[in-house]
Amino acid sequence: MRRLLDRPLTQADLEENTANLALVTDESRAGDGMLESVLVFRIGAERLAVHADEAHRVVPLSPVRRVPHRTGDVFAGLANIGGELTLVGNLGAALGIAPGAKPTHFIVIGNAGARWAFAADAIEGVRRVRAGDLVPPPTTVRHAADGCARCLLRETRDAGGGDNARESLVTVLDGLKACAILARSIA
């Protein structure tokens, strides 16, 4: 392995690698700006997202332990996630979203020492989107749910092939504001 990594590169290899690196940079700056990564998930019938750098981790559900005299509609309790005792909230209840199917995963957000986990019904995955596809939310959305909506993602989805493509909107949440909404439930 050491020989493979220490081998000298030919001029052709250097030029090819330089071209590949320049292509990625040009692609990310083309069109509507830089690319951003968002984690798209579903709670109930709502498709939501957080910026990928705000999502600490996505893990399968683990048991949630209730906290006497503190647990309610929004604050669910505590869970051991990756060896770390983590506060668990019900983001759907905090945002007024009707519950859907049985949740499958926890999404952990927040800074160290102030992490929150919430259950998601489905994880759609990380999407690389152009900044131009992220639009400011209308006033009604921006002021709903305590101003937690950072922007909306316009996404074209293929609804069965061919000319059946349709545009849908995904609400991109502000991770810090979402943590603040969950934290208010235990104050």
CATH of 32-184, one of 3.40.50.970, 3.40.50.1220, 2.40.50.180, 3.40.50.11900: 2.40.50.180
Show me where the domains of the chain are located: 32-184
pLDDT for residue 74 is more than 60: yes
Q: How does DSSP assign the chain, residue by residue?
A: -HHHHHSPPPHHHHHHHHHHHHHHHHHHHSSSS-EEEEEEEEETTEEEEEEGGGEEEEEE----B--TTT--SSEEEEEEETTEEEEEE-HHHHHTPPP-SPP-EEEEES-TTS-EEEEESEEEEEEEEEGGGEEPPPHHHHHGGGG-EEEEEEEEEESSSTT-EEEEEEEEE-HHHHHHHHHHTT-
pLDDT at 30: 47
Instruction: Find which of 42-46, 68-72, 110-114 is predicted with most confidence, using mean pLDDT.
Output: 42-46
More confident residue, 13 or 40: 40
Q: What is the DSSP string of 149-177?
A: EEEEEEEEEESSSTT-EEEEEEEEE-HHH
Q: Which of 8-12, 121-125, 144-148, 181-185 has the lowest mean pLDDT?
A: 144-148
Q: What is the pLDDT of residue 37?
A: 92
This prediction has a pTM of 0.75
pLDDT above 50 (res 26): no
Q: 156-171: per-residue pLDDT in tens?
A: 766 665 566 678 889 9
Query: How far apart, in whole angstroms, are the C-alpha atoms of residue 107 and residue 41?
Result: 9
pLDDT in tens, 107-151: 999 988 889 999 999 999 999 998 888 888 887 665 555 678 999
What would the two tokens of residue 62 be?
């683990």
Give 96 or 145, the one with higher predicted confidence. Answer: 96
> Please, what is the average pLDDT of the chain?
83
